[in-house]
Structure 1
Amino acid sequence: MSLITADQLHRISPVARSDIVAAIIDKADEMFPAYGLATLLRVRHFLAQVAEETGGLRVLEEDLDYSAMRLMQVWPARFPTLATAEPYAHNPRRLADRVYGGRMGNAGPNDGWKYRGRGLLQTTGKAMFALLQHDTGLPLVDQPELASAPEHMLQCAVVSFVRIHGVLAACDRNDVAGVTRLVNGGLTNLAARRLYLAHCDHAIAELGAIGAVPA
């Protein structure tokens, strides 16, 4: 029996895209045990974070198409007025280079856009893609889009979760805030992450698809 089923993932997020669901199911039996997602609690926390980062298993690339007003809300220090925000409104490429350029390992003139959030955990920044490349062996610095490719997205997310962010101890404590800080760098959308975790607890416990894996 597969560790994760399509029914489980749709219970966690009824709006989940079928291609994302299929990509997770296809690799879960291989990737979860290989990287230490070997308990129900760890799997639940992983799926909860993935569900939130992808808008309910729907989005694999960061959406940077913001109105000027929304830019002022999201990045108030960078865009304190409409006049400063309007040149970047509904201009994702220019916005990415403005807000991500010159940090997170981004040095080239287009690095902010190239290394925008991608994949199941929205990996962002050239430095993070370089770490992920080191641990997966995938050429992610040259091809960051591989983090969103069906054949690689789960491995990239699991490696990021376990090795780069180092969340297993926080998972074992059932500390959703601690997991979120490690994955997100803050507590963005913590309430949504808690809700997804509750959905994961219900879906996986009820269906018992992980069977022999201890809780």
Structure 2
Amino acid sequence: MSLITADQLHRISPVARSDIVAAIIDKADEMFPAYGLATLLRVRHFLAQVAEETGGLRVLEEDLDYSAMRLMQVWPARFPTLATAEPYAHNPRRLADRVYGGRMGNTGPDDGWKYRGRGLLQTTGKATFALLQHDTGLPLVDQPELASAPEHMLQCAVVSFVRIHGVLAACDRNDVVGVTRLVNGGLTNLAARRLYLAHCDHAIAELGAIGAVPA
């Protein structure tokens, strides 16, 4: 019996893409125990964060196609007026280089676009991809798209969750606010994360192959 089933993932998000569900199931038995996701609380919190970051297990690449008005709402300091926002509206590449360039380890002229959010936890920024490369052995600095590849997406997300964000203690406290701060850097869409965690609590009553470890 697998640790996680397709039925459980679809109960967490009925709109989940079948290819993303398959990629998680395919690697969960290997990756969850390898990195310490071996209790109900840890798995539930991981999947809740993944579900929110991917829009319900649907999106593996950051959507940067914004209207000018939306840019003013999301990045008010960078785009205080329509005149400043309009050149970047519906121009994802230019926007990524504007909002991500020169920070998070991005130094090249197109690094903001190259290292935009990718994968199950929307890994962003060259510096984070470099950390992920160190811990996974994957050439993610040269090929950041590997974070979204079916054969690698779960490992990248688990390593990011456990080693880069260091969330296990917060998971063990069942502290969704603490987990969210560590994963997101803030509390963006906290209500949705709480809702996904509730779905996970109902969908995952036990862990399959290794049995239910007490929460």
TM-score range, shorter chain: over 0.9
> CA contact under 8 A between 1:48 and 1:196: conserved in structure 2?
yes
Cα shift readout 1:140-159 (whole Å, capped 9, x = no counterpart)? 00000000000000000000
TM-score (norm 2): 0.98
CA distance, structure 1, for counterparts of residue 51 and residue 7 of structure 2? 15
SS in structure 2 of the partner of residue 3 of structure 1: coil
Conserved? CA contact 2:4–2:208, under 8 Å: no
Deviation at 1:214, TM superposition (A): 3.2
State the Cα distance separating 1:206 from its structure 2 match.
7.5
Q: TM-score, normalised by structure 1?
A: 0.98
CA contact (8 A) 1:68 1:86 kept: yes
CA distance in 1, matches of 2:78, 2:98: 9
Superposition pairs for residues 127-166 of structure 1, below 5 Å? 127-166=127-166
Return 201-210 or 178-187, whichever deviates more.
201-210
Cα pair distance change 1:11/1:35, threshold 3 Å: same
Whole-Å separation in 2 of the counterparts to 1:104 and 1:165: 15
- Number of residue pairs matched by the alignment: 215
Deviation readout 1:84-128 (Å, 9 max, x if unpaired) = 000000000000000000000000000000000000000000000
Offset, 1:17: 0.1
Separation in 1 of the partners of 2:212 and 2:95?
A: 47
Q: Which residue of 2 aligns with 1:28?
A: 28
Q: 1:43-68: CA deviations, max 9, x gaps?
A: 00000000000000000000000000
Measured after TM superposition, the shift of residue 209 of structure 1 is 7.3
Partner SS for 1:166: coil
User: Is the CA contact 2:120–2:148 (under 8 Å) kept in the aligned structure 1?
Assistant: yes
Match of 2:71 in 1: 71
Alpha-carbon distance in structure 1 between the residues aligned to 2:212 and 2:88: 51
Looking at structure 2, the residues matched to 126 and 139 of structure 1 have their Cα atoms a distance apart, in angstroms, of 12
In the TM superposition, residue 213 of structure 1 has moved relative to its aligned partner by 3.1
Taking only the aligned residue pairs, the percentage that are identical comes to 98
User: What is the deviation of 1:207?
Assistant: 8.7
Give the unaligned 5+ runs of structure 1.
none
Q: What displacement does 1:83 show?
A: 0.3
- Contact between 1:8 and 1:207, CA under 8 Å: does it hold in 2? no
How far is the alpha carbon of 1:205 from its aligned partner? 1.4
Deviation of 1:208 (Å): 6.6
1:211 Cα shift?
2.9
